[in-house]
Amino acid sequence: MFLIHDLCTLLEGYLEPDQVKEVYRAYLFGAEAHEGQHRLTGEPYIYHPLAVARILAEMRMDYKTIIAALLHDVIEDTETARENLVSSFDEEVANLVDGVTKLTQVKFGSKAEAQAENFRKMILAMAKDIRIILIKLADRLHNMRTLGVMRPDKKRRIARETLDIYAPIANRLGMKNISLELEDLCFQAIHPLRYRVLDKAVKQARGHRKEIVDKIRTAIEERLHNEGLDVPVIGREKHLYSIYQKMINKGLSFKDVADVFAFRIVVDKVDTCYRALGVVHNLYKPVPGRFKDYIAIPKANGYQSLHTILFSPYGIPIEVQIRTEEMQRVAEAGIAAHWQYKTGDATPGHATEWLKRLLEMQQNAGNSEEFLENAKIDLFPDEVYVFTPEGDIVNMPRGATALDFAYAVHTDVGNTCVSVKIDRHLAPLRSELLNGQTVEIITAPGAKPNPVWLDFVTTGKARANIRHYLKHMQRDEAISLGKRMLEKATAAIALSWDLSSAKDVQTVLDGLNVHSLDELYEAISLGNRVASVVARQIADILAEKHPQGQKAGVKGMFSRYAPDWMKPSASRSTKKPLAIRGTEGSVVTFAKCCHPIPGDPILGFVSAGRGIVIHLRNCKNVREFKNNPERWVDVQWEKDVEGFYPVDIRVDTANQRGVLATVAATIADLESNIENVSITERDGRYSTMLFTVLVKDRVHLAQLMRRIKATEGVVKITRSKS
């Protein structure tokens, strides 16, 4: 059992005596706070904070981090308030403990929402002090080590969360030892049978190959000694989860996994790394394409080493890693090694860049669950390395596209990019990047993100920024449309509303229970408020405020107004219908039952949450909404509408070879695309083809139908409207 005097003995190896005394005082404080609490194992609860503190002490963390580790659960699990920590210790310790504490006082709609919001809180706190995530990782590591007493379903849930979030974070921060142990513990909890089978296979292989491995290690050491390099060669066994992942991802059997056994050479300086590499390449032949230089180009988490795969004379490939002692410390402890051996309170560059990306994603995410989704994408950086035109190296996750690269350079570059050159040749934005490519992004001032981009970007930063831009763009369109709808509704009842009068505007906003005109306009365009009803409410509010003024007669006049857009009325006959531009985004949708296109006579129906749905005036489904006349909006097409719109056409043809290809070619010749096609055979002589095609307007459709009608084999063509 690890006790407080064991912790103090460990700390005396690198902390001042006064600091060790403060740690002991924190232990007494925590033990008193957790008095009477026990873990599921039956042991006193304080043993858990002690174990967490030990993990951090083994990383040689500073004394305030150790104190926070001993107290990390007192706010969440006891009656202790944050103010008690400030008065008993200081603000710094209180901030560390508060950063690790979950949001237990807030009620969430689901476990997923709670998990996402707690993750957001942790990331925001971690951006202020990186030690918070170190305490959280040590806490999670001890919880995983003692997971055995829990129910199987709870084990799997905690292990899955750890595998999705905490193990990748540890890897991102270069804490490879913690990352690997977390992965193996998660593997054991999620797939216990597979874990046991693989563990047995590794032990058997170790027994069978022990003699061979010893011979290889001795041969490498002797060759290095002959070249004047007296350094030890350490055998390294690949972790079970790493072996399992390689088997799953590459479809390999256990005996086909190349680097189950590997060797590590730790030298004094960088030059010696490359000398040692030459020695092992002269001893055993390297496998072509399997050498990686992470010293010249470090991984995103700061990891540096030389990796090479060699052909051994015993028929088994072996992996050799070569690094300096400093690189070894960073490889094992990552950011924790930086904390102890470098500046003490500064976050290393690779972690700073990652935190900046996370904060930017957090600001642009619509909610905590979207942020968590984007962060998970960003937490699996199997990297590729590409170059800017100036020769700077940019590391990207494997599978990243040229568009992801644009957003990695800068958000504005991503938002305004129009094309890309890869190795000086034009390429699609969706092109997947490969190691060593030079990528040049071409931008244009008026360019803006396309919703289609979300289908192929892979990085969390790109996804978050595209969504953020599109939301704002759609909101601007919604506000513009809602304003036009309200202006039309107020004009229809002859209501003159002076928007320059701040007092009148505020009175109306208060009466409608909204915070701003933009909020009101957006609600109208999305169908959450009906423009005609809002106009009536405004008239009533203003009439009540100015009973003797010019607006005094508005209320009475309005009460006689009939808000039925389907009926002709004197007030309506002279008013211009609402113009539809086709660029309103999600606030205006076009009914799929009748597929209206520019030039068609149309009507709009206000639908809650969907905005205005545009139908043909003679659409059969219009009759279903006759009982909601206040939701109808009189609309017409803008004069110069751009874009392509789907429309259904029915083509009756003779059953003859090649007729479908001929019709499809005719459609393509007239700059139209086919979205969908289905064919039914009426009898042995005739077939019916139903096409959904994209056209600009009625004129374009008419040209298309005339050309198809003139095609050999076509008997009849009609537009399908319902």
Choice among 22, 76, 113, 373 that is catalytic: 76
The answer to whether 441 touches 468, Cβ cutoff 8 Å, is: no
Cα–Cα distance, 587 to 684 (Å, whole number): 47
With b for 16 or more beta-carbon neighbours within 10 A and e for fewer, the 357-387 pattern comes to bbebbbebbeebbbbbbbbebbbebebbbbe
Give the helix ranges, DSSP H, for 106-191: 111-128, 131-145, 152-161, 167-172, 176-190
Question: What is the C-alpha radius of gyration for the chain, rounded to an integer number of angstroms?
Answer: 34
Inter-CA distances, 514 with 202, 211, 612, Å: 66, 78, 21
237 is catalytic: no
Distance CA 420, CA 428 (A): 7
Q: Would you call 345 a catalytic residue per the annotation?
A: no
659-696 CB burial, b ≥16 within 10 A, e <16 = bbebbeebbeebebeeeeeeeeeeeeeebebebbbbbb
Task: Say if CB 578 and CB 635 are below 8 A apart.
Answer: yes
For residue 50, how many other CB atoms are within 10 A of its CB? 22
Catalytic residue among 22, 77, 113, 369: 77
Q: How many residues are listed for the chain in this entry?
A: 722
The closest of 516, 515, 561 to 539, measured between CA atoms, is 561
CA distance to 533, 680, 709, 716, per residue, from 656 (Å): 58, 14, 16, 15
| 3-class state of residue 41 by DSSP | coil
Contact 270, 211 (CB under 8 A): no
DSSP 431: P
Question: Longest C-alpha distance within the chain, in Å?
Answer: 107
Contact 127, 362 (CB under 8 A): no
Are 517 and 525 spatial neighbours (Cβ–Cβ below 8 Å)? no
CB atoms within 10 A of CB 121: 18
Give the pair of three-digit tokens for residue 372.
């968590």
Look up residue 482 and give its DSSP letter: H
Tokens found for residue 609: 């949450």
Phi, psi of 130 (to 5 degrees): -65, -20
**Over 247-268, what HEC string results?**
HHHHCCCHHHCCCCEEEEEEEC
- Return the residue matching tokens 């086709």: 582
CA distance 280 to 292: 14
> Terminal CA-to-CA distance of the chain, rounded, Å?
76
CA atoms within a 13 Å half-sphere pointing along the CA-CB vector of 251 = 0
What is the distance between the alpha carbons of residues 309 and 259, in angstroms, rounded to a whole number? 8
Q: Which two tokens stand for residue 191?
A: 């797939």
Residue 519 CA to residue 613 CA, distance in Å, equals 20
- Token pair of 175 as six digits: 């804490």
Q: Report how far residue 616's alpha carbon sits from residue 597's, in angstroms, rounded to the nearest whole number.
A: 9
Q: How many CA atoms lie within 13 A of 288 on its CB side?
A: 0
Q: Which residues pair with 648 in a beta bridge?
A: 692, 720
The catalytic residues are: 76-77
